[in-house]
Structure 1
């Protein structure tokens, strides 16, 4: 007999909140769970595994669309690993671009912060620089 978990127990088992589980169910990432006569959702071990998979993918910053693709690949025994790697590489490239952008922002803000005296004077180079046209 398969053990079925309520949403609270599924949340504990997967590391997700009940709200997120409902969201993933509503968005179609996880199959809608059957309900008891009193309306409680019940989750099987396959759904718990999917929820854990989703949690891990979200922690790595994958979008819901990418997670949907990854789930489909995970569940397809005929998949080609190159498709999985391509998704991961694409996401890695996006992360590297974001890191580069954040580093540039850090450099500019550091320079701006150093250019402001930060005293009782109303003059502040930060505000002057932000007001400059591009």
Structure 2
């Protein structure tokens, strides 16, 4: 089975530490995800690629009870607010063992999203942070 990325350029893993890759505008400071060539806030092309922090806060979520092509129900998706001030839409895993609450700590992981006949599709998910201080 071949491992393939859900979409190239969304994330990287350095020494086992995953990070989403975004852009930061040198003109207005806006942080964007995914990487952009022009700032959506001020239209400047003065952007640099940055690694976004792995931990965030659950902003909102919903559990889906209708099957999709790759995800049997129920599955959960939501918005995670990162310290950089940006919100990331993501599948959320681990909620069956750890009930979700708005405002709870979440952490980024790189995992298999789905498998088909020939490929293991790899992407990012967030999970609740439980039991850490």
> Structure 2 length normalisation: TM-score?
0.19
Question: Larger relative contact order (C-alpha < 8 A, sep ≥ 6)?
Answer: 2
Larger Rg: 1
Q: Could you tell me the TM-score, scaled by structure 1's length? A: 0.19
Q: Which is helix-richer, 1 or 2?
A: 1
